[in-house]
Amino acid sequence: MSIKDVIKNSVYESLGGGTSLSAKNILLLLVIAALVGIYIFMVYKLASKSAFYSKDLNVTLAGMPIIVAAIMIAMQSNLLVSLGMVGALSIVRFRNAVKNPMDLLYLFWSVSAGIIVGVGLYLLSFVLCIVMTVLLLALDLVPGAKAPDLLVLRALAVEIDYEDLEKLLKGKCKYHKEKSRCIKNGETELIIEIRTAKKEELLDALSRIKCLTQINCISHDGESRV
Q: pTM here?
A: 0.62
Q: What are phi and psi of 43, to 5 degrees?
A: -65, -45
Answer yes or no: is pLDDT of 19 > 70: no
Answer yes or no: is pLDDT of 117 > 60: yes
Answer yes or no: is pLDDT of 199 > 90: no
- List Cα–Cα distances, 130 to 19, 109, 138, in angstroms: 30, 12, 12
What domains can you pick out in the chain, each with its CATH number? 3-91+100-140 (no CATH), 145-224 (3.30.70.260)
With beta carbons less than 8 A apart as the criterion, state whether 33 and 66 touch: yes
Residues 6+ apart with CB under 8 A from 80: 15, 16
48-101 pLDDT, tens digit each:
877 678 888 889 999 999 988 988 888 776 666 666 666 656 555 666 677 778
pLDDT over 90 for what percent of the chain?
A: 20
Q: What is the pLDDT of residue 198?
A: 84
Q: What is the pLDDT of residue 75?
A: 78
Q: How many CA atoms lie within 13 A of 17 on its CB side?
A: 3
Answer yes or no: is pLDDT of 40 > 90: yes
Q: Average model confidence (pLDDT) for the chain?
A: 80
